[in-house]
Structure 1
Amino acid sequence: MDSTLALAAEGYAWLPDRWRTHTGPVVRTRLLGHPAVGLRGPEAVRFFYDDRHVARRAALPEPVMATLFGRGGVQSLDGEAHRERKALLMDVVSPPERVEALAEGFAAAWEEALPGWLGDGRIVLFDEAGVVLTLAVARWAGVPLAGHEARPLAADLLAMVDGFATAGPRHWRGRKARVEREAWLVELVEGVRSGEVETPRGSALERIATHRNADGEPLEPHVAAVEVLNVLRPTAAVAWYAAFAAHALHRWPRHRERLGEAAYAYAFADEVRRFYPFAPFVAGRAVTDLTWHGEPIPYGSLLLLDLYGQNHERALWGDPYIFRPDRFLGGGVDPRLLVPQGGGDPESGHRCPGESATRSLIAAVAARLAELSYAVPSQDLTIPLGRIPTRPRSGMVLSNLAR
């Protein structure tokens, strides 16, 4: 029986619910008419992200490419082409000094915005965090952006994320935003190459615009634009985690007092990423006939790595539905265990190259929220699992903010 409609209705709960009614190491179903096999667990992460087993490119549906990822970017590549492009983005985004610079840029943009939030009024944190994050990453990436342009850019970046998993108006808004912003960035890329657009040497925009593939050729302007969006869009998407962080502090305010400690702020960020729903699963195609714990997986099968289910698996976490940041204190996080944005090796696989920046930004948001006093007025704080990507319905309304 095809489960496409069930997935649309159940969202994040769909694949975890299938595990509750199945025994064995896999869940078998059908999506969009194709046989699909669900996997979960640290061993499954290693298996799924092995290029000898699974190709990601063939599993990305057109609606996702047209909103979330774009065509020709790193997510649509496999093998050596993917490794070469991923090395570029890792070098742009992941070095500690680059992550620190982005966090400092976020802190500066937050301080600029804060006076407009203070007083008797109210803000929707999801929206305002999106603007602050967008302004910070644009400056950091060397993308020319006037202050008044940050809000419409943030709206477009968030629309690309918000529309990838629906067939309704959100999806068409995301498509429109991607078309328009790719065209804008094509002009910027060509301007950098011609010398008409100034951007700091070593910035993300400069590095991507001037990058040459292994064959010595520059990226097509459209592909370069997609990769610049692959820097801007995920940073703006930390707005989802900002809303979740505020939601957690509202439900469990005892954590506020320790967020001045850097180690605890990062542990809090990791627990936000584990506890709250972000990506439900990632998909790939079997590149050959496979076997997983004795279960046959025929060539061409759709493989689904259950991210939300794994992050809430009792056998892995013990008390998965208790928000407990201290589970991440005192040691590193196994990247095969905590998989909010996917798994695998960030150096060579499909794991998000900006994951360290995401952690840093969530920790920064949480610490700054803890420094403020504010009220949480009556609002709808439910987080619907049937909506992908989800967030508190209200977007986290805060009022009467004060230092």
Structure 2
Amino acid sequence: MQNSQSIPHLSGIDSTRAFLSEGYSFISRRCDQLGSDAFRTRLMLRPVTFLRGRDAVRSFYEPGRMTRRGAMPPTVVPLLQGKGSVQSLDDEAHHIRKQMFLDLMDRDRLRAARRIFAEEWQAAARSWQGCEIDFSDAVDGIMTRTALRWCGIDPSQHDVASRARELSTMFAAAGTLGPAYLQARWLRARCERWARSLISQTREADGPAGSTLAKLAFHTDLDGSRMSEDVAVKELLNILRPIVAVGRYFVFAAHALHSHRAAIPAVAEDDEPTCRAIAEEVRRLYPFFPAIGGRVREAFDWHGARFEPGDWLVLDLYGTNHDPDIWEDAERFRAERHLGRDIQPEGLVPQGGGDYLQNHRCPGEWLTMELLTEAVMQLRKLDWTVPEQDLTLSDNQFPPLPGGGLRIAVQPENPGARC
């Protein structure tokens, strides 16, 4: 963006309807029309500045500059965050809680998650032989079992189908209103009751030692006291729900392997660098988080504009991942762009940017990449086709499913085998 004394304002009173209607493309479309990487408008009648691009990412994630409190729509917070959870904290309280999550992402735990997922995938895939399945629905079950096992929760002792529905609805309905949203709130409350019983039982039994569940149950915060049961419940869901949500990337990976097969490098199906590059390009190109909001804590200047404490900023994650100033042929699927190249971190922000400890960047990004890489590898080993169907991804569903779901036909390993 060219230096200027002011950031342009959109015409009109409020942009809420346009944002919900246009979805992922809303911010970048306006930036392109205005010839600017930022613009001011109102969202839900509140003044807001939208930003996109590499320089905006650097400024937005300057340590200590922004807070998440009061920065997300009030309908989203109860489904995706929760009062007292790590996203609502700042400064040292945030660092201590965030460190707990980062400790869960050590190399051994990441390897364990990938191994668990591969086991769950292979167990499920045996039932797919000779069948046409709803891949998106199947993935929800696989990821719920994976999430439970990784947290130290035995799936055989719990209603996996109910947990899968609750956890997947939380993120799938976060951008909705009306009956769908109310149902999601009810399902979240039901899941919280289940999670509360787990935290309570774990504390009473003083175990299972070393598990993710135990680390949450016995974590102590800045003041040296144990997290309240209510907050521990929210943080447990803040682990389980995102792991299940990663399954939406698996649907996108299948979509990419089918729709962009001519652009997939011709190497062995289990070639780790290539599968990781495909996974990274899926995260860059496909729509997941549209944007992230923040409230200014410390006044700062950016491109001639002044931002004061309390100002509401929204960073365009999807638009930055598609920014032609950062990415050559930005709208094309090109996995090779991630092979052996120095990708600037401010340009690849599918799950946010900044420093993992100092900022609110998603601590599960490493886990996402491990699981998605394994999913790409498993999909490339599976013999499957895509029946005729609508593969369009809606711009105003957050995140979208092609035609409401992706159906795939899995070829039988043994001739004559059927569902």
* TM exceeding 0.5: yes
1:310 aligns with 2:300: no
Deviation of 1:260 after TM superposition, in Å, equals 1.6
Q: For residues 15 and 207 of structure 1, what CA distance do their matches in structure 2 show?
A: 40
2:232 alignment counterpart: 224
Deviation of 1:392 after TM superposition, in Å, equals 1.2
CA contact (8 A) 1:312 1:320 kept: yes
Q: For residues 381 and 232 of structure 1, what CA distance do their matches in structure 2 show?
A: 28
Partner amino acid, structure 2, of 1:146: S
Instruction: Report Cα offsets for 1:135-194 as digits up to 9, x if no partner.
Output: 012111112322772222111111000111111333223211211111111111111111
CA contact (8 A) 2:15 2:41 kept: yes
1:22 alignment counterpart: 34
2:349 alignment counterpart: 339
Partner amino acid, structure 2, of 1:117: W
Match of residue 293, structure 1, among 288, 303, 309: 303
The percentage of aligned residue pairs carrying the same residue is: 38
Deviates more, 1:169-178 or 1:275-284: 169-178
Task: Report the TM-score, using the length of structure 1 for normalisation.
Answer: 0.95
Unaligned runs of 5+ in 2: 1-12, 414-419
Deviation of 1:109 after TM superposition, in Å, equals 0.6
Instruction: Report Cα offsets for 1:103-132 as digits up to 9, x if no partner.
Output: 00000111111111111x211111111111
Inter-CA distance 148–88: structure 2 relative to 1 (3 Å threshold): closer
Partner amino acid, structure 2, of 1:100: R
1:136 alignment counterpart: 146
Unaligned runs of 5+ in 1: none
Match of residue 6, structure 1, among 14, 18, 31: 18
Deviation of 1:334 after TM superposition, in Å, equals 3.1
CA contact (8 A) 2:219 2:227 kept: yes
1:117 aligns with 2:131: no
1:320 alignment counterpart: 330
Deviation of 1:50 after TM superposition, in Å, equals 2.6
Instruction: Report Cα offsets for 1:70-116 as digits up to 9, x if no partner.
Output: 22211111222111110001101x21211111000000111111111
Q: For residues 367 and 135 of structure 1, what CA distance do their matches in structure 2 show?
A: 19
Deviation of 1:366 after TM superposition, in Å, equals 1.2
1:191 alignment counterpart: 201
Deviates more, 1:67-76 or 1:48-57: 48-57
Partner amino acid, structure 1, of 2:243: T
CA contact (8 A) 1:55 1:285 kept: yes
The correspondence of residues 28-107 of structure 1 with structure 2, limited to 5 A, is 28-92=40-104, 94-107=105-118
Deviation of 1:395 after TM superposition, in Å, equals 1.7
Q: For residues 12 and 145 of structure 1, what CA distance do their matches in structure 2 show?
A: 36
SS at match of 1:213: coil
Deviation of 1:332 after TM superposition, in Å, equals 5.1
Deviates more, 1:163-172 or 1:126-135: 163-172
Deviates more, 1:240-249 or 1:136-145: 136-145
Match of residue 370, structure 2, among 360, 376, 380: 360
SS at match of 2:282: helix
Q: For residues 71 and 132 of structure 2, what CA distance do their matches in structure 1 show?
A: 42
CA contact (8 A) 1:26 1:295 kept: no
CA contact (8 A) 1:130 1:238 kept: no
Superposed structure 1 runs of 4+ greater than 6 Å apart: none
Partner amino acid, structure 2, of 1:396: L
Inter-CA distance 256–21: structure 2 relative to 1 (3 Å threshold): closer
CA contact (8 A) 1:126 1:396 kept: yes
CA contact (8 A) 1:162 1:170 kept: no
Instruction: Report Cα offsets for 1:29-83 as digits up to 9, x if no partner.
Output: 1111111111222232222123442211121232111112222211111222111
Q: For residues 25 and 378 of structure 1, what CA distance do their matches in structure 2 show?
A: 39
Deviation of 1:290 after TM superposition, in Å, equals 2.8
Instruction: Report Cα offsets for 1:288-333 as digits up to 9, x if no partner.
Output: 4432111122432210111111011111001111100010000454
Q: For residues 167 and 331 of structure 1, what CA distance do their matches in structure 2 show?
A: 42
